Amino acid sequence: EDQVTQSPEALRLQEGESSSLNCSYTVSGLRGLFWYRQDPGKGPEFLFTLYSAGEEKEKERLKATLTKKESFLHITAPKPEDSATYLCAVRGSSNTGKLIFGQGTTLQVKP
Amino acid sequence: DVKVTQSSRYLVKRTGEKVFLECVQDMDHENMFWYRQDPGLGLRLIYFSYDVKMKEKGDIPEGYSVSREKKERFSLILESASTNQTSMYLCASSPLVIANEQFFGPGTRLTVL
């Protein structure tokens, strides 16, 4: 069964304190790994798609990486506006069109 | 930019009422999805649709139905609302069956009393 586990559940950082969020996955034939950002009371906002091990994508202070078993979302020198819940999702060959979501990591960055 | 809109941000209904949640996307996407999101349970897929008049059950379809009469519009129907359907409902769309990210609407916070 396809599965996604994110850790930690919650993370508190001081402004400027870099860290990483983890997304471990089990999937039959990975067709894509997706990172989303979700602010309270809003819908998820798409950040990145990764397709194969070794792939990396960057956007401002965020960098997503992918291995055969997990993905990391690295946050460099975070700012308070980076505070949000970060969701990871996968699409496998056995669930065409469907995404399997993790529970999310809620990040709080204090000034 | 892709835009997915949902008919209401907040909705309060009574037990037993029939509830319609509407979703519209403006990017000519083939695929549309309905999720519910609950604390500790994450996002769960209710129904999805690959084309007009086509629908497939997701992981938790019980108590829900859907309608897709036009490509841009996907409706979620609660035939007889119950308190355990109080949740945040999220609609999403994507351009292809395989791969490609889904784009989400702002969500509807439904409370059933």
β-strands B64-70, B73-78 pairing:
antiparallel
* DSSP letter for each residue of B30-91: SEEEEEEEETTTEEEEEEEESSTT--EE-S--TTEEEEEEETTEEEEEESS--GGG-EEEEE
pLDDT at position B2: 64
Q: Which of B41, B98, B106 sits opposite A31 (nearest CB)?
A: B98
Question: Rounded distance, CA B26 to CA B5, Å?
Answer: 9
Question: Are B106 and A43 inside 8 Å of each other by CB?
Answer: yes
Candidates B91, B98, B101: best to mutate against A (most CBs of A within 10 A) is B101
pLDDT at position B1: 67
pLDDT at position A98: 80
**Beta carbons of A88 and A101 less than 8 angstroms apart:** yes
Query: What's the whole-number mean pLDDT along residues A94-99?
Result: 69
**Beta carbons of B23 and B73 less than 8 angstroms apart:** yes
Q: Which of A43, A49, A98 sits opposite B101 (nearest CB)?
A: A49
**Beta carbons of B21 and B106 less than 8 angstroms apart:** no
pLDDT at position A93: 76
Residues of chain B with pLDDT under 50: none
β-strands A84-92, B10-13 pairing:
unpaired
Note the pLDDT tens digit of each residue in A33-80: 999 999 998 999 999 999 999 999 999 999 999 999 999 999 999 999
Q: Which of A43, A46, A103 sits opposite B101 (nearest CB)?
A: A46
pLDDT at position B88: 96
Question: Are B42 and A96 inside 8 Å of each other by CB?
Answer: no
Question: Are B97 and A42 inside 8 Å of each other by CB?
Answer: no
